[in-house]
Chains A and B, each alone.
Chain A
Amino acid sequence: MATLPSEKKPITLDTFLRGVWEENPVFVMLLGLCPALAVTNSAVNAIGMGGATIFVLLGSSALVSLLRNVIPKQVRIASYIVIIATFVTIVDYAIHALSLELYGALGAFIQLIVVNCVILGRAESFASKHRITKSLVNALGVGVGFTFALLCVGSVREILGAGTLFGLPLFGESFQPWVVMVLPPGGFFVTGGWLLVFAWWKERKQRKLVEREEALHAAG
């Protein structure tokens, strides 16, 4: 089995963390926004969707990586989609068997994981070029990053829209829920809010970096 130069690089913490933070699929790459907006009306749903996505990411990355030298380039998209659809079907059955309630809440969005671009993106740009362990570590990182983003959006929407977190009431009986937050527009509001927070954070970090360099120059 011939190896690519990128395959020889060792697995570092960065292989994992890149997907969680620097290249967070939702907050940085703006990928997979359909489930990020649609099923994040509660923290539990966000975790459920994140877990399902992690499973599909791991499974499809492993299989794509194993078959990377067998799949001709001309039929790779067809192959990846079939592989992804397989794991989505498995996770669909599994969630149905684990919790009818969660299955009811996530509804058609489990099946829609097939067309989540985060997963096809990983298969195309990472798993098809790397060994299986490295692909798995990378897929887990991206999956955790995706779940983290969903949880950020989901908990804010649940707190504001229903006054609860993980189903536990936070504010007592007198709380008047801000219902729009658990409706589709709330998904856009909260995701937009988080994007603003992350953009501000990134800018601040860069400004500090520049200031430090300038200070070094002045001292030198």
Chain B
Amino acid sequence: MTTEANPSVASYSEANHSEVGAPIPPMPSPGVLIRTLGLIAMIAGLLVVIAYQVTDPIIKEKELLALEKAVFEVIPGADEKTATRVSYALSSHGLKRLDDESAADANLFAVYDSSGKLVGLAMQGAAQGYSDLVRTLFAYNPKCQCIDGLTVLKSTDTPGFGDKKTVEHNAKFMANFKDLSVEVTPDKKAIAHPIETVKFGTKTEPWQVDAMSGATFSSRGIGNGLRAATDELVPLIQQHLSELESVPKTEVSK
């Protein structure tokens, strides 16, 4: 039998160019298949790695800038032009100053004025809102032992109810975070009254957050995020306050 008489043994390269609807050509050898897939995977890998290499420093820098801007915005009285921001990692093991490279691991940001005095501290809070985590950045004032500023970093909650814009335009809700008490116990081991989120219009104590009407879950997400962050960090801040009060002399290597 010749090849002309039997189309099924026609060479693969010819059959590959058939139009749609033509029978699938015979299976090429496994070696060919693996080589082709290997080639494609190699091209793909190369392109992805190049893209990552090019964009990664830009992304890191932009995220740092965005965080810096948010920190200056949230701390009252922080002048972006003259103030300096310092990132810290604060844990029960102690206070560690971080350089810009590792600022992503920071959980505490301090802003100092031009004479090196502490203007304010900022921390991040995150807790489950209505649809996902609500991430906030808030300012802590160690003098009045209170929270005196808040911005929403990310919220995917319902637009018009719990999204960033609506929450930040809700003057009544934002007033909660002008003077929210997070006083520590006399031994500086814990918060005297942890932050509580209460139903709209029922706030009676200075450590309570009055929820937004119609967005109780989003309010609770913000309140719980604040509570978790302050429970952990505020007692530690009070313990390390003397180190935090002036801009650290020891420069970190960049």
Contacts and interface: CB of A to CB of B under 8 A. Distances in A.
B33 A72 contact: yes
B40 A67 contact: yes
Given A89-B51, A94-B55, A72 B159 contact: no
B59 A74 contact: no
Contacts of B33: 72, 74-75
A18 to B, nearest CB: 17
Given A69-B13, A69-B17, A94-B51, 20 more contacts: A2-B17, A63-B43, A73-B25, A74-B33, A75-B37, A78-B37, A83-B40, A83-B43, A85-B44, A87-B47, A90-B47, A90-B48, A93-B52, A93-B54, A94-B55, A97-B59, A100-B66, A104-B154, A179-B160, A182-B159
Contacts of B48: 86, 89-90
Interface in A90-122: 90, 93-94, 96-97, 100, 104, 107
B39 interface: yes
Interface of A: 2, 4, 6, 41, 63, 67, 69-75, 78-79, 82-83, 85-87, 89-90, 93-94, 96-97, 100, 104, 107, 125, 129, 161-162, 177, 179, 182-183
Contacts, number: 87
A154 to B, nearest CB: 14
Q: Is the interface of B mostly helix, strand, loop or mixed?
A: helix
A74 B51 contact: no
Contacts of B56: 93
A100 B65 CA distance: 11
B171 interface: no
Contacts of B66: 100
A90 B36 CA distance: 22
B239 interface: no
Interface string B72-90: 0000000000000000000
B99 to A, nearest CB: 21
Nearest to A79: B40
B104 to A, nearest CB: 14
Given A85-B44, A86-B48, A97-B62, A69 B159 contact: no
B160 A100 contact: no
A69 B16 contact: yes
16 contacts: A6-B19, A69-B13, A72-B12, A78-B37, A79-B37, A82-B41, A82-B44, A89-B48, A93-B54, A94-B51, A100-B62, A100-B66, A161-B159, A179-B159, A179-B160, A179-B161
